Structures are given as structure tokens and as C-alpha cells.
């Protein structure tokens, strides 16, 4: 009621924004999103010239994005762009149009939206992030030349941007996917050197370690994977632990490999994809050690959780081959 009185009696007050936001928040907490949105729409309709309307329109659009109603989010962001052409929120809206279009798998349209931010609003804080996302889309559709151009534009135009380190990682992944390991190693190493304590640096360590594994440089690979597990307890660490098991398997140390694979299950149980892959690999180690009965137990453990997916099919096939 207090919020509503402010809206009715002091429509030009600086408190109006807080009051409208308060009503919006209260309705949402009460599980009444329709009423929350209607409150915003009613205010914009009643006071079309109010300076706060652009912020309220952005709030509506953000709400739909947060609720994963991406088509409606695009419509609301476009309404802001159309009705408030001079607002400082216009480039933000184009960026979030692009994010929504990505979620809708409208990659070409998303690239256009991000390009608008990068080219028309090059001084905006979201310009470098837009170039990063353009590069990621091109990487996803395997247009690696276009991806590299976007990452290199980001680096040259925004050398101090926080997006640089992620762009470097993505650039390294492009070279890795292009089967250019020398260039990939160079970029990953540069990224680690720039900010050795960051999440992205540890992603680079795992990626660089995989390259070394492919080159049979197991010592360097193990150093990188161990660096990750000594620093983290998240999914990157689970991935690194899995790769340690792979290295030991490639080296022919089957018992040690088996033990390293099992560590994924016991140390990182929250990351089922890595646990599942590790159990399958641990079973293979036991088979090679002549312990097929124990291997079956691991495959049955996978099958119990994944009977209807690819991992379950693989586990069942391995069990069938043992029991032939």
C-alpha cells in the first residue's frame, strides 16, 4: 500500500523507481508474476513520459530472459530499442537480444545483434563481450577463420578488457580443433602466464595437457593435470583426474591407472559424466589385468544409472563381451 501511494501521489518523485521495483518484487515473491508485470505495464501506460520508463521496460525484458521465455524477451528488448532510441540501455538491450537469440538457436541473428553492439557502440562495456560471443558462435559452427578474426579484433581493440583471457582460451581451442597444436600450445601458455590463478588458466592447463598426451609427452601432461587438481575441487579437477588415469593407462601402468580412475568416483562424485567415463575406463584396466569379474561390477554400476543412454549401452556391450 505504501508503494502504491507513492506511485499515485508522487509520480515524478525519485522514489517512484524504488516503489515500482518494490511492488514488482513483492508480487514475484507472492508467486504472482502476471500481476508483477501488469504493475510495470500500467505505470508505463499511465505515465508515458516518465524518465523511469526505460528502466521499467528493461526490467520487464530481463524478467522474461530470467524465466527462459526468450522470444518474449526479444520482443521486450526490441520495444525498448524502438521506444527509447537515445537511452544508454539500448546497447545493453541489443546484447541481450543476442543472448536470447543464442538460446533460441538463432545463431545468424545473434551474430547480427552482437555485431551491432561491437560496431555501433564500440565504447560500451559490452562491446568486447559481444566480440567474444561472436567468436564462440563461429567456433561452434566450425567457421574457425571467422572465429579467429573476432578474437583477434577483441585483443587488438580492447587490450585491457576482462574478456581478453577468455578470448585467448577460445582462440587456443580453435587452433586445437584446427589441428594446429604448436599454435594452440603457444596461446594456452600465454593465457596461463597472463593470469595463472584464474579459472580460465586451469581450463588452459587441461587443454594443453591433452595436447601433450596426444604427443606422448606424458610428463608435461601430468604436471599440468596435477596443477589443476592441487588447486581445485570442481569439475575441472574431475576432468584433470580422469586424464591422469588416461596417462597412466597409456603408459601401461594399468593398476595405477585403475586407481586414478576410481579417484574420480570418490573425490568428485558430483560430476557424473566424469565418474561414468572413469568407471568405464577403470573396468577396461581390470579387463586388461585379467580381472574380468571385477570389471563387470564396474560396468554394472554404470548400467544401473545409465540404462537408457549411450553410457549404459557401452557398459552392457562390455558385459556381454565378457560373458560370451
For residue 27, pLDDT beyond 90: no
- Please give the pLDDT value at position 211: 96
Q: How confident is the model at residue 8 (pLDDT cuts 50, 70, 90)?
A: low
- The residues near 92 (Cβ < 8 Å, ≥ 6 apart) are 58, 124, 126
Question: Minimal CA–CA distance to 302: which of 265, 264, 276?
Answer: 276
Write the CB contacts of 218 (distance below 8 Å, at least 6 apart in sequence): 212, 247, 250, 251
Cα–Cα distance measured from residue 127 to residue 121, given in angstroms and rounded to the nearest whole number: 7
What is the rounded average pLDDT of the residues 203-232?
A: 97
Report pLDDT digits (tens) over 138-188. 999 999 999 999 999 999 999 999 999 999 999 999 999 999 999 999 999
Query: How large is the average pLDDT for residues 245-265?
Result: 98
Sort residue 167 into left (φ over 0), alpha (ψ -120 to 50) or beta.
alpha
Q: Which pLDDT band holds residue 18 (cuts at 50, 70, 90)? A: low
CA distances from 234 to 9, 190, 269 (A): 53, 23, 10
* Structure confidence by residue, pLDDT tens digits, 121-144: 999 999 999 999 999 999 999 999
User: What tens digit of pLDDT does each residue of 42-65 get?
Assistant: 777 666 666 778 888 898 899 899
What is d(CA 169, CA 172) in angstroms, rounded to the nearest whole number? 5
Q: Is 52 helix (H, G, I), strand (E, B) or coil?
A: coil
Model pLDDT, residue 267: 97
Q: What is the predicted pLDDT for the residue at 22?
A: 65
3-state secondary structure at position 109: helix
Tell me how far apart the alpha carbons of residues 235 and 257 are, in angstroms, rounded to a whole number: 19
User: Above 80 in pLDDT, residue 39?
Assistant: no
In this prediction, residue 90 carries a pLDDT of 96
pTM: 0.82
Residue 17 confidence (pLDDT) above 90: no
The dihedrals phi and psi of 31, each to the nearest 5 degrees, come to 75, 30
pLDDT level of residue 239 (50, 70, 90 thresholds): very high
Amino acid at each position: 500500500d505504501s508503494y502504491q501511494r507513492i506511485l499515485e501521489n508522487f509520480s515524478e518523485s525519485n522514489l517512484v523507481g524504488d516503489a515500482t521495483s518494490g511492488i514488482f518484487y513483492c508480487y514475484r515473491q507472492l508467486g504472482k508474476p502476471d500481476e508483477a508485470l501488469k504493475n510495470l505495464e500500467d505505470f508505463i501506460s499511465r505515465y508515458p513520459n516518465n524518465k523511469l520508463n526505460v528502466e521499467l521496460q528493461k526490467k520487464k525484458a530481463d524478467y522474461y530472459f530470467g524465466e527462459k521465455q526468450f522470444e518474449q524477451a526479444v520482443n521486450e528488448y526490441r520495444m525498448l530499442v524502438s521506444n527509447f532510441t537515445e537511452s544508454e540501455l539500448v546497447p545493453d538491450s541489443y546484447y541481450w537480444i543476442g543472448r536470447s537469440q543464442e538460446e533460441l538457436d538463432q545463431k545468424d541473428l545473434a551474430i547480427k545483434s552482437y555485431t551491432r553492439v561491437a560496431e555501433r557502440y564500440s565504447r560500451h562495456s559490452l562491446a568486447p563481450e559481444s566480440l567474444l560471443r561472436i567468436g564462440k558462435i563461429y567456433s561452434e559452427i566450425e567457421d574457425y577463420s571467422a572465429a579467429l578474426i573476432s578474437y583477434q579484433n577483441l585483443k587488438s581493440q580492447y587490450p585491457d578488457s576482462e574478456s581478453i583471457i577468455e578470448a585467448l582460451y577460445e582462440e587456443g581451442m580453435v587452433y586445437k580443433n584446427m589441428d594446429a597444436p604448436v599454435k594452440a600450445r603457444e596461446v594456452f601458455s600465454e593465457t596461463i602466464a597472463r593470469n595463472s590463478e584464474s579459472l580460465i588458466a586451469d581450463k588452459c592447463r587441461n587443454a594443453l595437457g591433452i595436447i601433450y598426451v596426444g604427443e606422448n609427452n606424458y610428463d608435461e601432461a601430468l604436471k599440468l593435470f596435477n596443477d589443476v587438481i592441487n588447486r581445485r575441487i570442481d569439475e575441472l579437477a574431475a576432468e584433470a583426474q580422469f586424464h591422469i588415469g588416461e596417462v597412466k593407462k597409456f603408459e601401461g601402468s594399468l593398476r595405477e591407472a585403475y586407481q586414478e580412475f576410481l579417484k574420480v568416483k570418490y573425490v568428485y562424485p558430483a560430476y557424473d559424466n566424469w565418474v561414468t567415463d572413469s568407471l568405464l575406463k577403470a573396468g577396461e584396466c581390470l579387463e586388461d589385468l585379467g580381472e574380468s569379474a571385477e570389471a563387470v561390477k564396474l560396468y554394472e554400476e554404470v548400467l544401473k544409472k545409465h540404462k537408457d543412454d549411450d553410457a549404459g549401452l557401452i557398459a552392457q556391450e562390455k558385459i556381454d563381451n565378457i560373458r560370451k
